[in-house]
Copies of this chain bind each other. A is one copy, B any other.
Amino acid sequence: MFKKIQSLLIGKALKTTELAGEKFNVIWGLPILSSDAISSVAYASEEILLVLVPVLGAYAYGSMIEISMAISALLFVLVFSYKQIIDSYPHGGGSYIVASDNIGKVPGLVAAASLMIDYVLTVAVSTCAGAAAITSAFPALSEHKALISILVIGLITLGNLRGIKDSAKLFGIPTYLFILSIIIMIGTGLFKVLVLKVTPVELYPIKQSTQDLTVLLFLKAFSSGCTALTGIEAVSDGIPNFKNPAQKNAKTVLMLLACIVFVIFCGLSYLSTMYKAVPGQDITVIAQISIQVFGQNSIMFFVLQATTAIILTLAANTAFSDLPLLLSILAKDGYVPRQLSVRGTRLSFSNGIVLLCLSSAFLVYIVNGSTHLLLSLYAVGVFISFTLSQFGMFKKWTKSKEGNWKHKAFINGLGATITAITCIIIGVEKFTHGAWIVLICIPLLVTGMIRIRRHYTKVRENLKIDTEVESLIVRESVTKYIIVPVQTINKSFIKSLNYALTVGDNIEIYHVSTDEEITKKLIEKFSTLGIAAHLIIENAPYRNINEKLVAYVEEKHRQLKKHEVITIVMPQFIIPKWWHQTLHNQTSIFLRRSILKMRNVVIVTVPYIINE
């Protein structure tokens, strides 16, 4: 039943050997890995204006260009830095790998923790922003923003559980549609103002202000706008998902991505300046611009809202393709639960996908679908991981001193410096707005990962055989006590007893008496069995049957000599209908747990199937 639903929703199981087929080329890799970066622009301009307009009023639009240029410069520094990472790390050069390879384990884990937080935030932010685009077009739905986001997360999760290639096709076309629509809007918008000399009509009144752009305000706006750069690292993380030649394809995608982000981000910033879009309204800045360019009820307005909603939503998909991969790498290194490295029936890392689905949906539920609350948490983590990976690369070059190392070290050193400065700016500016949560979560996650690793190491040490394997085999037969607990003599008990008789001779039938009548009957019936087993009876005035049994076994366990084992034979009812289980005492679970704590006690479970 469960199997059927599963295969209906996510498709039939795939063989491990089918793995190679599930990779993508440049055409499909671009939309899959870049939707996060490209879609960021849908809220980045608005976030910048949200800082500037309340202080500067109409004067804000002048400063917009300066800030956009600063962010664009940062974009290209990052792109060149990351091209070098792709060259050096053909199996995927996430910040975790680069930082832990070149700086050390702890910086690596810090980068990993930042990335984990960011991927969850990416999903939450993007789906909420997508929902905002939908509710801009249909304001009646604005109450249900959180619900829409969570539904969308569920859909993306299903798509990803189906596997990589399917989702690439599913998600690629809308990304291209979005890019096209935005570029048409930018073209039309510029054409109308520059060539047709149309004067835009302001949608909302903007107050005048005489204040000037201060350094502080610039930094504030800059740190808000940096969200536009989130998602750039996705390409270098995702190299193993590319078809061969994977590195070349990845670099091509990275360059294409940077160009698209540059054109769209600057284009939108410029349009918002021309058309004087006002942030923080019921409808988003992009929606305002498209209304002014195409008209309120034009087809293009709805196309733009729809593709914006879709690409924002799909941006979440980048995280769904990368976080599970990161987690599987961490799992192989023993820093997160090992289950996260197992591929599901469709060859995707299904546990990681489900984990991301649950945590991001929870986040959306908590902030009730508000993008703005999440955006303050967002960029810190991204820039921490940027800085660590750039600094890692810088150390790599200065250590190896091979070939053209000075040039390469300069590029990554510049990247590290600039991202570090940006990181500090964002950390300070956004600290009280929520960045402190991230700065608390990162050390917590790092500590957790170190402790998980320590546990796995201990387990491995415990299980490792360091002597000759053969010497561990115990060949002589082992003396045993065989204990069969009994409350009443019935078929199930007889079945257990029969099994016990095959295991050995020293059988003890153990009974705890809470009712004299029942015990008397038991003794009587037992005498008719005609078997050579001891019947042991204990009284339990406090009705604690299980505790008595455990204490008895513990006492016997203490007397064991080397290589001796106690075997406890216990029946277990097998009941066809699951809800009937609740009608039977569940204390046997606790009993098992207490007994198995003893090193040399073995439990034999004899099933007794109840026919209905």
Do residues B14 and A542 form an inter-chain contact, with CB atoms below 8 A?
A: yes
Would you call A609 an interface residue if the criterion is a C-beta within 8 Å of the partner chain's C-beta atoms? yes
Expressed in whole angstroms, the Cα–Cα distance for A14 and B542 within the complex equals: 6
**What residues on B are CB-neighbors of A15 within 8 Å?**
541-542
* Residue from A456, A477, A491, A497 having most chain B Cβ neighbours under 10 A: A491
What is the bound-complex CA distance between A508 and B396, given in angstroms? Answer: 52
Q: 1/0 per position for A568-612, CB-CB distance to B under 8 A?
A: 000011110100101111000000100011110111111111111
CB pair B602 A543 closer than 8 Å: no
Decide yes or no whether A470 CB sits under 8 A from chain B: yes
Q: Are B469 and A580 in contact (CB under 8 A)?
A: no
Q: Does A343 contact B (CB under 8 A)?
A: yes
Chain B proximity of A242: nearest CB distance (Å)? 24
In the complex, are the beta carbons of B490 and A464 less than 8 A apart?
Answer: yes
A120 to chain B, nearest CB (A): 19
* Residue of B13, B14, B470, B529 touching A529 (CB-CB under 8 A): B470
Minimum CB distance partner of A495 in chain B:
B472
Judged by a CB distance under 8 angstroms, whether A531 is at the interface is yes
- Decide if B458 touches A610 in the complex (CB within 8 Å): yes
Whether A584 touches B338, Cβ cut-off 8 Å, given contacts A597-B607, A605-B605, A612-B458, is yes
Residues on B with C-beta less than 8 A from A606 are 602
CA distance A339 to B573 in the complex (A): 16
Q: Which residue of B lies closest to A514 (CB)?
A: B16
Asked if A470 and B528 make an inter-chain contact with CB atoms under 8 angstroms apart, the answer reads: yes
Establish whether residues B597 and A609, one from each chain, have CB atoms under 8 Å apart when the complex forms. yes
A337 lies within 8 A of chain B by Cβ: yes
CA distance A16 to B584 in the complex (A): 22
Q: Which of A451-509 contact B (CB under 8 A)?
A: 452, 455-456, 458-459, 462-465, 468-470, 472-475, 477-478, 480, 489-492, 494, 497-499, 501-503
Task: Indicate if the CB atoms of A574 and B603 lie closer than 8 Å.
Answer: no
| A525 contacts chain B at the CB level, 8 A cutoff | yes
Question: Which of A478, A583, A610 counts the most chain B CB atoms within 10 A?
Answer: A583
Separation of A270 and B455 alpha carbons in the complex (Å): 74
Chain B residues near A480: list those with CB within 8 A: 502
The answer on a CB contact under 8 Å between B16 and A543 is yes
Chain B residue, CB-CB nearest to A586: B339
Closest to A607 in B: B596
Known: A458-B610, A606-B602, A611-B458. A473 touches B489 (CB 8 A): no
Q: Can you name 28 A-B residue pairings with CB atoms under 8 Å?
A: A16-B514, A16-B541, A16-B542, A338-B585, A345-B543, A452-B583, A455-B580, A455-B583, A455-B612, A458-B610, A458-B611, A459-B575, A462-B608, A462-B611, A465-B491, A469-B525, A470-B529, A473-B501, A473-B531, A474-B498, A499-B602, A597-B609, A599-B609, A601-B607, A602-B604, A602-B606, A602-B607, A604-B604
Q: Which 8 A-B pairs have the closest CB atoms?
A: A463-B490, A15-B541, A596-B607, A474-B498, A603-B605, A472-B494, A13-B542, A478-B502
